[in-house]
């Protein structure tokens, strides 16, 4: 059963400091008209040149593809699994400092883990690609107020966990190490790529939980590959070599095995699927597809929050805590 709910952003609570360029889909800054009633914002929108590093990468792949599409595909493969680490905003620093820090030994290096509260009912926060556990810290206080204990961790190659590369399979191994340390998980709140990890773990491992919340979720990694190649201006020959390298490392069925919409088919686990209509990184249609594939799911649509600010919106947090109760 799919239920659709909608929430709009209050323009009075929207700051221009939250407006960022869509790094995956455009070289320009875009702002939805619902984000602000201030007309001056529209005047501030103008096309920007891509960052220098992006222009250099595009040029580099163009040259490599002229020399050897196989060589360019190999370098794309290496780049794809490189996990970038971004500066920690002050709000995340505060959320992190409020947590008990736990370092969990693991093959990939100690897993930076964060614990808030102390309860038998545990909620796990799963961040997305290039994210960090405390990135989802806005959920912590409301969950503590309702008597939950909250756990988050930095996946391999992310945040304070060492490494420069990552994958769903590494992240899944880390997830199980964390569960072994902290105990059973009552519910999971996952964001973006973390939703692909959650669906994979539920289908292909012995991971168990009672409820799932997926926010801004892709459905298939093939969408991410297509989007990334388009963004990097990679031609089809290079893309095909990249896919062959990936299949050689993780088997030919890797794309199906990591497709969230396929992994949740027939699943009896109750789920809340939240997606913003103005998400330019992961289009809203993918969240709708995930909800259609997940039998016992509720679809909650928002507007004007994009891909990341949705994690800090009070209406979204309220919807999540109500679903958990």
Q: What is the DSSP string of 291-324?
A: HHHSSSEEEEEEES-TTTGGGG-HHHHHHHHHHH
pLDDT in tens, 48-102: 677 888 899 999 999 999 999 999 999 999 999 999 888 999 999 999 999 999 9
Q: Which runs of E-coded beta strand occur in 198-249?
A: 211-215
Tokens of 173: 């191994």
What is the rounded CA–CA span in Å between residue 186 and residue 127? Answer: 17
More confident residue, 11 or 189: 189
Specify the pLDDT at position 52: 86
Among 278, 298, 285, smallest CA distance to 8 is for 278
* pLDDT band with cut points at 50, 70 and 90 for residue 22: very low
Tokens of 153: 């961790």
pLDDT in tens, 113-134: 999 999 999 999 999 999 999 9
Beta carbons of 294 and 119 less than 8 angstroms apart? no
* pLDDT band with cut points at 50, 70 and 90 for residue 40: very low
Listed in sequence order, the residues at least 6 apart from 106 whose beta carbon sits closer than 8 Å to its beta carbon are 156, 173, 174, 177
Q: Is 208 helix (H, G, I), strand (E, B) or coil?
A: coil
Share of the chain above pLDDT 70, in %: 85
- Has residue 19 got a pLDDT over 70? no
What is the rounded CA–CA span in Å between residue 96 and residue 136? Answer: 10
- Has residue 15 got a pLDDT over 70? no
Entry field: residues in the chain: 325
- Has residue 13 got a pLDDT over 90? no
pTM higher than 0.95: no
pLDDT in tens, 207-256: 999 999 999 999 999 999 999 999 999 999 999 999 999 999 999 999 99
């Amino acid at each position: 059963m799919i239920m659709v709910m909608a929430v709009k952003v209050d323009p009075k609570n929207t700051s221009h400091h939250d407006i960022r360029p869509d790094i995956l889909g455009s070289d320009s800054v875009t702002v939805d008209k619902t984000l602000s009633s201030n007309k001056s914002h529209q005047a501030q929108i103008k096309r920007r040149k891509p960052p220098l590093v992006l222009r250099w990468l595009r040029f580099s792949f163009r040259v490599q593809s002229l020399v050897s599409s196989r060589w360019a595909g190999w370098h794309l493969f290496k780049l794809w699994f490189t996990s970038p680490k971004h500066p920690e905003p002050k709000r995340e620093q505060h959320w992190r400092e409020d947590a008990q820090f736990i370092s969990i030994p693991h093959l990939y290096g100690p897993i930076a883990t964060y614990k808030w509260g102390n309860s038998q009912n545990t909620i796990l926060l799963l961040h997305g690609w290039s994210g960090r556990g405390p990135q989802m810290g806005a959920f912590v206080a409301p969950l503590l107020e309702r008597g939950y204990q909250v756990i988050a961790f930095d996946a391999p190659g992310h945040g304070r966990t060492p490494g420069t590369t990552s994958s769903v399979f590494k992240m899944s191994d880390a997830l199980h190490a964390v569960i072994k340390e902290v105990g059973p998980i009552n519910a999971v709140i996952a964001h973006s790529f973390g939703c692909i990890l959650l669906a994979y773990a539920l289908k292909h491992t012995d991971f168990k939980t009672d409820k799932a919340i997926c926010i801004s979720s892709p459905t298939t990694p093939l969408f991410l590959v297509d989007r990334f190649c388009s963004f990097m201006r990679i031609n089809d020959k290079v893309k095909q070599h990249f896919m062959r390298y990936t299949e050689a490392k993780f088997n030919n069925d890797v794309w199906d095995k990591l497709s969230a919409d396929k992994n949740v088919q027939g699943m009896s686990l109750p789920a809340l699927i939240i997606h913003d209509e103005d998400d330019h990184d992961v289009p809203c249609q993918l969240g709708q597809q995930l909800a259609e594939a997940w039998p016992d799911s509720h679809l909650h649509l928002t507007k004007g929050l994009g891909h990341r600010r949705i994690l800090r919106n009070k209406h979204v947090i309220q919807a999540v805590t109500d679903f958990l109760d």
